[in-house]
Each structure stands twice: as structure tokens, then as C-alpha cells.
Amino acid sequence: MMGGLCSQLAALLLLLVLPSPAHGAEESQDQPVFSRIIGGQDAQEGIWPWQVSVQKYDKREYYHICGGSLISAQWVVSAAHCFHPSTPVSAYRMNLGEHQLSNPSPTRISSPVRRIVRHPDYNPSTVIADIALVQLTEPVAFTDTIRPVSLPGPSTQSPAGEKCWVTGWGRIGWGCGDVLPPPRTLQQLQASLVDASTCETLLGSCKLWNQPTMLCARAQDARSGPCKGDSGGPLVCPKGNSFILTGIVSWGINCTGSTPRPGVYTWVSVYAEWIQEVTGSAGPLAFSPAVLLLAGLLLPAL
């Protein structure tokens, strides 16, 4: 992927489009590649109510390409590499309240997109500022299965060793070779944050690592982690009785390597002020470290 930037990388940005039944293994030729959660487990319906399926229209149907997170009634945050600048905004839609992609919930909301704002510093060659904001055409009403995630502030700390969760519908097999089978249930995986120096060591000769803007996390089984189709999805960490959107699935080294590597995430707190500037508001669910989850929401064991 991406020429000689990282000779070790057979697959970089976790974007690679999951094949739809009619498409076979169709991939973008212009964007880096990422995948699904390897080693994850089925999530319970509604437990991650901010999870979004970013979908793209092609060949008479929409199909899942990336994850995203609902952050307010009209805004979703995802990875910049999920959206090609030559693709019209009308080709995308955001599916909210999804649980099983092959068995759509009757309460899900499928929203058209008004605009997509990629961070002005985003560079597809270095993967810096791999973050984009997606405005829905209309605000959505919150439900038990559709609810925004809390955002960090600019000074929110992300200590090494903190146990967080990554979710998505990406590929699942070792080597990123297996598509999530029907009914394509949302996957969840616990992963611990890794300190910058350890991450740099583990990534070896890969020069895409940028400590000030990126986070590393890895599961207890180092071979588990995000894969193709998980790009743009959330890495959330518990804060009191809430979860904070700490990272956005961005890129990783080929998971078939002999030495498993951590996944790399866009560090959301670095872009907190930009998010507030673009969305134009910081309501009670934004930049708040203590927003309670829905009453009765069953949290996964930490």
C-alpha cells in the first residue's frame, strides 16, 4: 500500500470497502486500506448507540465501507480516508441504529448526507489528521439505540494501559481475509492504550506514526484488532458512567506479519476545538467527561 512509505505494509488504512453480494472483492484504488475487527465478539443490540455504518452507493445498491460515531443530532465523525474527494456527497448515507447489517432493524435511521468536511490538514500520504465530519440532512431524534457519544476536551488525557473498546463491521479472519458472515453482527473488542514510545518501537520502520496526533491500542491477544471496513469507527474509553470517543480507527500494519502490531487511531482530543468550530455547538453531550449512558444500558465487562 502507498508505494514505499512502509515496505512492511501490505494493507494500511483500515478503509478497504467490504464487498457487497454483487460486487465481490471490490476495493478503492485511490485510498489506503483498513479492515474489520479480528478476534472480536458479537455486541448486544443497542450497547453502542453511537455506532454508525457509513455506506456508499454503487452499482444500484448501498454497501458498508466504514464506521463512524454519532456526536450530535446532525453530525457524525469518521476517518477522512473513508471519503474520496471525487465522490459526490449524494453517494453516501449514514445508517444509525444498525446492529446486524444483513438483518436491518426496523428502528434504524438511514440518513442522506448534506456535507462532508475533511480536516484541512489531512494528508493521504502521511495519514495526518485522518478525521472527517459528516453533516446529516436533518437532525435525528435520539432513541434507545441511537444516541451520541461524549467527546473529549482538548486537554483530556489518554493514559497508557487504559482499557477501551473498538467496534465495527469490518473483516474478521486472521490476515483480514474473511468477510463478517451473515447476519453481520456488530463486533466489539477490548483494547488497551499503548504509550507512544512503545508504539513507535512496535511499528518498526513505518514512518507514518505521528505521536502528537495519533494513538495506539492493542488487544490482549496482539493478533486481534481492527481490519478492513472498521475504518472511521470509534475507540471509546470509560470515564465515570460514560464513554468518551478517544480515537478513530485510522490505520495499521498488515496483520499477517510475524510480529503483530497495534492499531493506530486518530487522537480525537487533538481535534476537539476543530470539531466544535465546524459543528458550531458544544451541547451537553459534547466535550463532557461525565454524561451518563442510557438508564439500564448494559455495559460490557471491563
CATH number at residue 104: 2.40.10.10
12 has a pLDDT exceeding 70? no
Q: Let me know if residue 78 belongs to a domain.
A: yes
Locate 122 and state its grid cell: 489531512
Query: Residue 145 and residue 46: Cα distance in Å, rounded?
Result: 5
Which residues are CB-contacts of 277 (< 8 A; sequence separation ≥ 6)?
none
146-193 pLDDT, tens digit per residue, is 999 999 999 999 999 999 999 999 877 555 556 788 999 999 999 999
**Domain extent for 71:** 49-136
Residues 53-77 have a mean pLDDT of 96
Mean pLDDT of all residues in the chain?
Answer: 80
Which residues are CB-contacts of 92 (< 8 A; sequence separation ≥ 6)?
54, 55, 56, 57, 83, 113, 116, 134
Burial class (CB in 10 A: 0-12, 13-18, 19+), 24: exposed
Query: Residue 235 and residue 212: Cα distance in Å, rounded?
Result: 17
Q: Let me know if residue 128 belongs to a domain.
A: yes
Q: Let me know if residue 15 belongs to a domain.
A: no
Q: Which of 52-66, 108-122, 157-171, 177-191 has the lowest mean pLDDT?
A: 177-191
Structurally, the chain folds into a number of domains equal to: 1
Q: Let me know if residue 150 belongs to a domain.
A: no
Confidence of residue 27 (pLDDT cuts 50, 70, 90): very low
Residue 158 and residue 238 in contact, taking contact as beta carbons nearer than 8 Å: no
Higher pLDDT, 133 or 297: 133
Residues serving a catalytic function are 81, 130, 231
Q: Both ends of the chain: CA-CA distance in Å? A: 35
Query: Bridge-partner residues for 119, per DSSP?
Result: none
Q: Let me know if residue 87 belongs to a domain.
A: yes
**DSSP letters along 125-172, please?**
TTTBT--EEEEESSPPPP-SS--PPB---TT----TT-EEEEEE----
Q: Which of 39-43, 133-137, 232-236 has the lowest mean pLDDT?
A: 39-43
Q: Let me know if residue 92 belongs to a domain.
A: yes
Q: Let me know if residue 294 belongs to a domain.
A: no
pLDDT of residue 173: 59
